[in-house]
């Protein structure tokens, strides 16, 4: 406690004054120079790549194919200005990283299917709008914890609607989309965020009950049975996706996120081991019982059993990937279009063929920086719910990258999971930008909470302001040293 002057009364900063001091940095038009500089670097891939493609395009097609790249730059600059105008103190690294990833995706779509570039830009603009609304809107993430069961109910309704009224716009045989007036949406992209919101809130509330080990199976402690129900429900839900909807990618993603949050919240390794064993056991049973699961695994293990039929996509991807070498064939000189659905299922292969190993590793490193930054934010968070929510959202990105890159490299069976911000697809982009909006929001809230905690360390008289460096300045302008 600090008192300035021998006879001056000490004034306790109430919550209102403390909030004012804590949010003193949140003023209008606060510059974010680090973010702006990194954004300029993030625009380099899409602008340089489109310039290279322009050298081989016909002159009458230049305007038609150039404007999506310009619109992309304008959209991200507008988001930067929104954050500046709102005076937010959120991370200045997230938006540039996303701009770089989305720019690579925009470039690949322009290269592979130029007619889809305007639509990709539309989804990016809509996704950025959602991210900005979440990042600077008048709300707090604590609301999500309060309404976690409502969020879970929305997720259940989405799954039920997909099972009953799902459509198959691609003719793949998997009814994973919901259609309305000519537009389709894949609920699993929203469901992954809803899952994290619910699990983070549930595990924070039930952490003590889940760590109380009274019953035992042999030497393994068990929490009270009612609190084991979410584990069983999650196991059954993922098997339902695997069996009924044949959605191996979503099943792997959801269960991986579940195991991550379970371990981070409880710190019990055997919970994770048992849960993983349950999933592997169920997946093995599905392999022997269902032909479509067995077929997916067989063509992964040996794609040469039917190279011109069911394994055609995998075989072509192997040839394309092998032709890239260290430096690639050169942008625009490869043959990625020989791989079916390159812009959705194999964007990593297309980049590796024309950009080589260096471009592929560079893309993975960008994801690694994004994931590391998110995990550092989670580690610094003081609020348990915010910590778990950040961890779960980052886990979504990590697992998606692992699953899709592993499938492209034939390390695991290919699934329908998309590469975040890079693959073409409206549902994927909207879900990914919603995730980024939440991360921006939580980084801002964490900064304000830290400023508020620092404020409560001081009790000063009116007219004394707090400066950096642990010093107090009065109206006379003379510095007075502060104590703890």
pLDDT tens for each residue of 71-104: 999 999 999 999 999 888 889 999 999 999 999 9
- Report pLDDT for 89: 87
Res 196 pLDDT > 50: yes
pLDDT digits (tens, 9 = 90+) for 203-228: 888 887 777 656 555 555 566 666 66
Res 482 pLDDT > 60: no
Q: Which two three-digit tokens encode residue 362?
A: 């560079």
pLDDT band at 108 (very low <50, low <70, confident <90, very high): very high
Portion of the chain with pLDDT greater than 70, in percent: 78
Res 67 pLDDT > 50: yes
**Interval 182-208 mean pLDDT:** 85
Res 472 pLDDT > 60: no
pLDDT band at 462 (very low <50, low <70, confident <90, very high): very low
Which range has highest mean pLDDT (49-58, 272-281, 371-380)?
371-380
pLDDT digits (tens, 9 = 90+) for 350-367: 999 999 999 999 999 999
Considering only CA atoms, which of 380, 449, 391, 141 is closest in space to residue 265? 391
Which range has highest mean pLDDT (5-9, 19-23, 44-48, 166-170)?
44-48
- Report pLDDT for 220: 59
pLDDT band at 173 (very low <50, low <70, confident <90, very high): low
pLDDT band at 421 (very low <50, low <70, confident <90, very high): very high
Res 321 pLDDT > 80: yes
pLDDT band at 16 (very low <50, low <70, confident <90, very high): very low
- Report pLDDT for 284: 85
Res 476 pLDDT > 80: no
- Report pLDDT for 480: 40
**Interval 163-192 mean pLDDT:** 76
**Interval 432-454 mean pLDDT:** 87
Higher pLDDT, 334 or 39: 39
Poorest-pLDDT segment among 194-198, 240-244, 340-344, 371-375: 240-244
Poorest-pLDDT segment among 154-158, 317-321, 337-341, 417-421: 154-158
């Amino acid at each position: 406690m600090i008192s300035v002057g021998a006879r001056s009364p000490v004034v306790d900063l109430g919550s209102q004054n403390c909030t004012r001091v804590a949010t003193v940095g949140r003023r209008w038009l606060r510059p974010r120079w680090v973010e702006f500089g990194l954004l300029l670097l993030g625009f380099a891939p899409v602008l340089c790549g489109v310039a290279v493609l322009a050298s081989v395009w016909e002159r009458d097609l230049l305007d038609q194919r150039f404007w999506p790249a310009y619109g992309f730059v304008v959209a991200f600059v507008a988001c930067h200005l929104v954050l500046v105008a709102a005076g937010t103190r959120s991370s200045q690294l997230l938006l540039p990283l996303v701009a770089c990833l989305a720019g690579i995706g925009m470039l690949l779509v322009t290269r592979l299917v130029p007619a889809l570039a305007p639509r990709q830009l539309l989804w990016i603009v809509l996704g950025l709008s959602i991210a900005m609304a979440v990042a600077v809107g008048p709300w707090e993430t604590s609301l999500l914890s309060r309404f976690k069961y409502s969020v879970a109910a929305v997720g259940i309704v989405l799954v039920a609607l997909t099972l009953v009224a799902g459509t198959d716009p691609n003719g793949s045989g998997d009814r994973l989309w919901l259609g309305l007036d000519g537009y389709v949406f894949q609920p699993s992209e929203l469901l992954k965020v809803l899952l994290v919101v619910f699990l983070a809130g549930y595990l924070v509330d039930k952490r003590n009950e889940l760590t109380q080990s009274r019953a035992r199976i042999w030497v393994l402690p068990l929490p009270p049975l009612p609190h084991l129900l979410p584990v069983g429900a999650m196991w059954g839900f993922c098997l339902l996706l695997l069996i009924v909807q044949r959605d191996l990618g979503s099943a792997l993603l959801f269960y991986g996120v579940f195991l991550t949050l379970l371990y981070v919240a409880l710190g019990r390794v055997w919970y994770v081991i048992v849960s993983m064993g349950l999933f592997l056991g169920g997946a093995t049973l599905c392999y022997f019982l269902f032909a479509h699961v067995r077929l997916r695994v067989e063509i992964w293990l040996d794609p040469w059993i039917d190279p011109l039929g069911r394994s055609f996509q995998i075989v072509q991807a192997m040839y394309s990937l092998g032709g890239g070498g260290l430096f690639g064939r050169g942008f625009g000189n490869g043959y990625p279009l020989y791989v079916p659905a390159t812009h959705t299922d194999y964007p990593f292969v297309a980049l590796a063929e024309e950009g080589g190993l260096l471009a592929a590793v560079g893309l993975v490193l960008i994801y690694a920086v994004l994931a590391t930054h998110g995990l550092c934010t989670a580690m610094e968070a003081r609020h348990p719910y915010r910590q778990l929510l950040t961890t779960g959202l980052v886990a979504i990105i990590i697992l998606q990258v692992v699953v899709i890159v592993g499938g492209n490299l034939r390390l695991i069976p290919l699934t329908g999971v998309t590469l975040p911000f890079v693959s073409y697809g409206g549902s994927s982009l909207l879900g990914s930008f919603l995730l980024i909006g939440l991360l921006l929001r939580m980084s801002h809230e964490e900064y304000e909470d830290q400023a508020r905690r620092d404020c409560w360390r001081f009790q000063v008289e009116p007219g004394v302001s707090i400066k950096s460096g642990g010093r107090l300045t009065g109206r006379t302008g003379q510095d007075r040293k502060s104590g703890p």
